[in-house]
Amino acid sequence: MTSQPQPQPAPAATDAPYDIDAVRADFPILGKPMHGRPLTFLDSAASAQKPRQVIDAVSGVYENAYANIHRGVYELSQKATALYEGARDKVAGLLNAADRREIVFLRGATEAINLVAQTWGRANMVAGDEVILSRMEHHSNIVPWQMLRSSIGISLKVAPIDDRGALAADDVIALMGPRTRLVAITHMSNALGTVTPLAEIIAAAHERGIAVLVDGCQAVPRMTVDVQALGADFYVFSGHKLYGPTGIGALYARLELLEAMPPYQGGGEMIRSVTFEHTTYNDVPHKFEAGTPNIAGAIGLGAAIDYVQALGLGRIAAHEEALLAYANEALAGLNSVRLYGTAPGKGGIISFAIEGVHPHDAGTILDREGVAVRAGHHCAQPVMAHFGVPATVRASLGVYSCRADIDALVAGIRKVREIFA
């Protein structure tokens, strides 16, 4: 076997000031008015805007370096292959994976979780085995396990959250039993911003021989993730929340797990040889990447990783923490606003309701003020049920968010109250 180039960890954050004006200038869409007002974009948790560096990387592929990858002997194909596989190295470095082969490119976190459920899950679980989830999981980390429950008879256990939206490690650990095979848990809640106590949960799971899958969609854009230090067996994220293109994401899995897992889909690229009698599968990670992949998407994701690493994940986190504190203080002055998700150490997601106003109505009025927020259940209906509400308004921060955005949000909420007074 040829030696594999090993990923390097993400560079440490610098001490340089966070230049919010320069960051905002990187995002062309922020200069586009909405309803005659400056755009205040507060929906990054759903899908982040794209910097010019990512837009240029994607268009540059199609203008200068596009060809199908891996199998072409001509120069253009070799160039595209190098860019695509270079993006895999960048993902491995971002997560501090031990080996680049531990990174599988997929359409996003949803496909990654389905892959684990349908390959590792079917190979390692039988009727009566258990998967532990938390109350605040995104639907993409609930439904695949329900599908597996329907097909092979596993059981699901759900760890509770408290009225702040906090998750206690002890409550997860208490559910671990002799039939528990997997804990599938978010790193940071998309509906509440709660950051979960992963290290304690993973350590307890591994003491009991239980594997752990982590949904890192909200964590990767705003904090340093080290899968080796965490000890996660599986870690998934979507590129479009990390300022990259849609339709691309990644699964990290420990190499020995990937090598033991059966393929997820069959077709080109995931094979080494095919006859009508027998197929020999390719090595990992290619065994799980059937068909022509999202070549430009992966390269765009690599550019997005370059972008956040150049900003410094530590500096991004500090910027967001300060802005979240500013937002909480501003919203606290509005008697009609109730916040959902007030756990300590949470990330830049603010879910709230305005007294007497349906979230969809609030979102529509805010839009007319140029403020883009999310209104709904945020693909986390069990969270809404916990708080006894059908939906919330969610304002979520990105690298480009600033105090003026929060000021516009507060002014928009006051406008909502005027209309519904």
Number of Cα atoms under 13 Å in the Cβ half of residue 335? 0
Beta bridge partners of 212: 183
Task: Examine the pLDDT at 20 and tell me if it is beyond 70.
Answer: yes
Contact predicate 248/108, CB 8 Å? yes
Peptide bond into 221 cis (omega under 30): no
The pLDDT of residue 16 is 77
Task: Examine the pLDDT at 156 and tell me if it is beyond 50.
Answer: yes
Confidence of residue 58 (pLDDT cuts 50, 70, 90): very high
Q: What share of the chain is helix, strand, coil (3-state, %, to 5)?
A: 45, 15, 40
Task: Examine the pLDDT at 9 and tell me if it is beyond 60.
Answer: no
The arithmetic mean of pLDDT across residues 116-125, rounded, is: 98
The pLDDT of residue 299 is 98
Confidence of residue 71 (pLDDT cuts 50, 70, 90): confident
Percent of the chain with pLDDT over 90: 94
Task: Examine the pLDDT at 3 and tell me if it is beyond 90.
Answer: no
Mapped to the 3 state alphabet, what secondary structure does 188-209 carry? Answer: ECCCCCCECCHHHHHHHHHHCC
Task: Examine the pLDDT at 375 and tell me if it is beyond 70.
Answer: yes
Where along the chain do the CATH 3.90.1150.10 domains lie? 20-50+312-420
Name which of 391, 417, 411, 379 is nearest 45 in CA terms.
379
Query: CATH number of the domain at 20-50+312-420, please?
Result: 3.90.1150.10
The arithmetic mean of pLDDT across residues 127-144, rounded, is: 98
The arithmetic mean of pLDDT across residues 354-366, rounded, is: 97
Confidence of residue 1 (pLDDT cuts 50, 70, 90): very low
The pLDDT of residue 226 is 98
Measured CA distances, 244 to 99, 248, 377, 410 (Å): 23, 8, 24, 29
In whole angstroms, give the CA distance from residue 181 to residue 186: 17
Catalytic position from the list 147, 379, 389, 410:
379
CB crowding 271-299: b at 16 or more within 10 Å, else e: beeeeeeeeebbebbbbbbbeebbbbbbb
Residue 306's SS3 state is helix
Beta bridge partners of 183: 132, 212
The pLDDT of residue 2 is 34
* 178-223 residue pLDDT tens: 999 999 999 999 999 999 999 999 999 999 999 999 999 999 999 9
Q: What pTM was estimated for this model as a whole?
A: 0.95
In whole angstroms, give the CA distance from residue 368 to residue 90: 39
Query: CATH number of the domain at 57-309, please?
Result: 3.40.640.10
* 223-261 residue pLDDT tens: 999 999 999 999 999 999 999 999 999 999 999 999 999
Tokens encoding 95: 């997560």
Measured CA distances, 309 to 88, 94, 124, 302, 383 (Å): 15, 8, 37, 11, 32
Contact predicate 40/408, CB 8 Å? yes
Measured CA distances, 379 to 92, 137, 273 (Å): 28, 9, 41
Long-range contacts of 313-317 (CB under 8 A, 24+ apart): 313/10, 313/13, 313/222, 313/223, 313/224, 314/12, 314/13, 314/224, 315/13, 315/14, 315/16, 315/18, 316/13, 316/18, 316/221, 316/222, 316/399, 317/222, 317/223
Query: Known catalytic residue: 379?
Result: yes
The pLDDT of residue 13 is 45
Q: How far apart are the first and last CA of the chain?
A: 71
- Kindly report the average pLDDT of the chain as a whole number: 95
The pLDDT of residue 17 is 87
